[in-house]
Amino acid sequence: DEFNVCLNQDATHLAFGQGTHFCLGASLARKEIDLTFRTLLRRMRNIRLLNPGAEMVYERNMALRSLKHLHIAFDKV
């Protein structure tokens, strides 16, 4: 019962698969994450970067462009 965003396991990729191996819960999972982010963003005020002048470091990946870290701060509602 713990959500650890810093969990580092050997498997670095998590996907819904494709074809006959496509996850049956993919649509539900996408809907849940959409609702989660909408709720979080609605409840945060004054979202800002903690280090606005810091260089953005990206993961090395041919398929996706993603940041290694995005340190933010926000005010409680």
Q: Tokens in use for 49?
A: 């970067």
- The string of pLDDT tens digits covering residues 22-39 is 788 888 989 999 999 999
Give the CA radius of gyration of the chain. Answer: 16
Rounded to two decimals, the pTM is: 0.50
Burial class (CB in 10 A: 0-12, 13-18, 19+), 44: middle
Is the pLDDT at 17 greater than 80, yes or no?
A: no
Distance of alpha carbon 15 from alpha carbon 12, whole angstroms: 10
User: What percent of the chain shows pLDDT beyond 90?
Assistant: 27
